[in-house]
Amino acid sequence: MWAFIHKLGSPKWFYGISARLMPWFWIAAAALLLVGSVWGLLFTPADYQQGNSFRIIYVHVPAAFLAQSIFVSMAIAGLVFMVWKIKVADMAAAVMAPLGAAMTFIALFSGGVWGIPTWGTWWMWDARLTSMLILLFLYIGVIALRGAFASRDSGSRAASVLAMVGVINIPIIKYSVDWWYTLHQPASFTITGRVSMPMEMWAPLLLMVLGFYSFFIALTLMRTRSEILRRESGKRWVQALAEETP
Amino acid sequence: MSSSNTLDQPLSIIEPHGGLGVALIATLRRDLTLMLRRRSEVMNPLAFFALVITLFPLGLSPDPELLATVAPGLLWVAALLATLLSLDSLFRADFEDGSLEQLLLAPQPLAAMVLAKVVVHWLLTGLPLALMAPVLGLMLGLPAGSHLILMLALALGSASLSLVGAIGAALTVGLARGGVLLSLLVLPLYIPVLIFGAGAVQAALLGSGVAAHLAILGALLALAVMLAPWAIAAALRISVNG
Amino acid sequence: MAFDSFQDFLAMGGHAPYVWAAWALTAVLLVGSVLHARAERRQLLRELKRRARRERRAARETDVEEGA
């Protein structure tokens, strides 16, 4: 177990194993996203209440899932970095943050755009949208804090602490925003609140969610590899590697 | 080495007597004395609080009914910003004169010592804000029955604000221009306290149960007391050693 | 197939601006992040190679000096 963790922590080993894993995730992401998009856009029947505007769900929900999962992954990577001093974990956390912020933005934008046909307005202080907005601020905070330190190691550790503090707060924030929303707004028509969804509607959604997750893993592996090259550029194996590649 | 063995007593540094309790009380007394000497730093958040509350009727309308409906939210947001304003100086002076480094080297657990510092911050920021709030509430036309609840909620909530804010202050104390970053880090984490704090006052206005809100504020505080000191201690180590 | 014609598909039953805006932003951000990651990797490799070449030349020059 410990040997495995330390092996995983070696950038060189990670660089090798990720090269073998990455193509599979790229293929899975491309296939799932393609099939899910075509299915969701072309073949799923229109919703009886929302018409064709419900097709936004196929980008909104996966992005919202991923936005939250990436923050949790970032905090776990931060914990691994702080406890076992595994540098690769911090590199992964560093490259995850911008993607997480992008996913949060997609969820917010698609939610707002979806609001026009359903609510008649761009923005509603809906519980889900509000907690997404707060999540975006948390992402911006983590990215800004990492960049604010002159030494990379301090920035990494500070960002790890903030990510862990944030991940403890996310459920509290979500709960309090839900509570606040039910208090101030009578339960109105929520965008994704329907419980039962017919099979032909959620099957493409499942494909899209899996596709987004594969995309996240593939992109994180790829950018972590780049980060390894950047931070380990003085190491002999990196220089040898640079000379080999055409 | 051989010469020191011949001495009756081994060479040692004599530690002052007393354990954690003594160190905690010493820190409390030292910080209180220091803060009371810099009176302007204690007064500034209070003046800011009063000033912001004065701005709202000027910006909105002098209509007492309208003001009374928005008063809980206004008072809470203004108090939150006033606490935020005071956070930057929480560790700044100690960081600059090196006493923070001494605190890190002390044998007592850092989390406990940091908690003493946060208690001082709350005593001189959160508590005065809570005591002052009813006066401003009167000016906003808040009915008299809700003043006690406002004070209680602010006193409870501002303790959580001090604890959570101290994490942000500890993370940014080593940075030259940490002020704006500090508010970016801390404000999202303040949202639950804001919701339940303002909710308590709102409930008092409507005459519905207040106990649930205060209980949740208390639960948030308990959680913050348990977890925040460790995060503050870790953050201070990063800022001082990094 | 939920649509009768391609025109129908583009119109999205009158909801075209909303559906296509959301999907377009998603596509742009996903494709953009892939392109960015590729460009980043290429640039890093190029820099590493330039550095290796420089160091090899420096090593050769010291060899020559020592030989002379």
Instruction: Report percent pLDDT > 90 for chain A.
Output: 53
> How far does the CA of residue A3 sit from the closest CA of chain C (Å)?
30
Q: Do B185 and A141 touch (CB under 8 A)?
A: yes
pLDDT tens, position by position, A58-67:
999 999 999 9
First to last CA, chain B: 36
CA closest to A232 among chain C residues: C48
Instruction: Please give the single-letter amino acid code of residue A226.
Output: S
**Given an 8 Å threshold on Cβ–Cβ distance, is A52 in contact with C15?**
yes
Mean pLDDT of A134-155: 93
Q: What pLDDT was estimated at residue A124?
A: 81
**B3: pLDDT confidence band, cut at 50, 70 and 90?**
very low
| Closest residue, chain B, to A167 (C-alpha) | B189
pLDDT of B125-159, one tens digit each? Answer: 999 999 999 999 998 988 888 899 999 999 999 99
Q: Which residue has the higher pLDDT, B219 or A120?
A: B219
SS (H, E, C) B114-140: HHHHHHHHHHHHHHHHHHHHHHHHHHC
* Residue at C43 is within a domain: yes
pLDDT of the residue at A4: 66
Q: Do A145 and B234 touch (CB under 8 A)?
A: no
Pairwise pLDDT comparison (B102 vs A97), residue with the higher score: A97
For the stretch B91-113, pLDDT in tens is 988 898 888 998 888 888 899 99
pLDDT digits (tens, 9 = 90+) for B64-82: 888 888 999 999 999 999 9
In the predicted model, what is the mean pLDDT of chain A? 87
Interface test with A, best of C6, C7, C30, C42 (most A CBs within 10 A): C30
- CA B159-B223-A139 angle, to 5 degrees, is 90
Handedness of CA B151, B157, B160, B166 (dihedral sign): negative
Question: How near does any CA of chain A get to the CA of B34, in Å?
Answer: 28
| pLDDT for the residue numbered A228 | 92
Give the chain B residue nearest A132 (alpha carbons): B188
Residue C10 domain-assigned? no
- pLDDT for the residue C55: 81
Residues on chain A touching C26 (C-beta within 8 angstroms): 59, 63, 106, 110
Cβ-Cβ contacts under 8 Å, B209 against chain A: none
Q: Which among A126, A125, A158 is positioned nearest to A141, based on CA atoms? A: A158
Domain containing C57 equals 32-68
Tell whether A79 lies on the interface with B, counting CB pairs under 8 A.
no
Q: What average pLDDT score do residues A1-18 get?
A: 77
Q: Chain B within 8 Å of A166 (Cβ-Cβ)?
A: yes
B195 CB neighbours in chain A (<8 A) are: 176-177, 179-180
Mutate to test the interface with A, among C19, C29, C31, C46 (most CBs of A within 10 A): C19
CB atoms A141 and B192 under 8 Å = no
Cβ A176–B195 below 8 Å, yes or no?
yes
pLDDT given at position B16 = 59
Residues of chain C contacting residue A230, judged by C-beta atoms under 8 Å apart: 44
| Predicted-complex ipTM score | 0.86
For chain B, what are the domain ranges?
A: 19-241
pLDDT at A51: 77
Tally of structural domains, chain C: 1
Nearest to B167 among A144, A165, A179 (CB): A165
Q: Which stretch of A108-112, A148-152, A200-204, B82-86 has the lowest confidence by average pLDDT?
A: A200-204
Residues of C in contact with A51 (CB under 8 A): 13-15
For A114-128, the pLDDT digits (tens) are: 888 887 888 888 888
Q: Quick check: do A and B touch, 3+ CB pairs under 8 A?
A: yes
**What's the rounded Cα separation, in Å, for the pair B111 and C7?**
66
Res. B123 pLDDT band, cuts 50 70 90: very high
**For range A80-91, the mean pLDDT:** 92
Under the banding of pLDDT at 50, 70 and 90, the label for residue C61 is: confident
CA nearest to A244 within chain C: C49
Q: What's the average model confidence in pLDDT over A171-199?
A: 70
Mean pLDDT of B212-220: 93
pLDDT band at C23 (very low <50, low <70, confident <90, very high): very high
Domain presence at residue C56: yes
- Interval B229-237 mean pLDDT: 94
Q: Any bridge partners for residue A47, and if so which? A: A51
The domain segmentation of chain A, as residue ranges, is: 12-189+199-244
Residue C1 domain-assigned (yes or no): no
Pick the CATH number of A12-189+199-244 from 4.10.280, 3.40.390, 3.40.50, 1.20.120: 1.20.120
Q: Does C58 touch chain A (CB under 8 A)?
A: no
The tokens describing A110, both together, are 């698609």
Letter string b/e over residues A25-47, b meaning 16 or more CB atoms within 10 A of that residue's CB: bbebbeebbeebbebbbeebebb
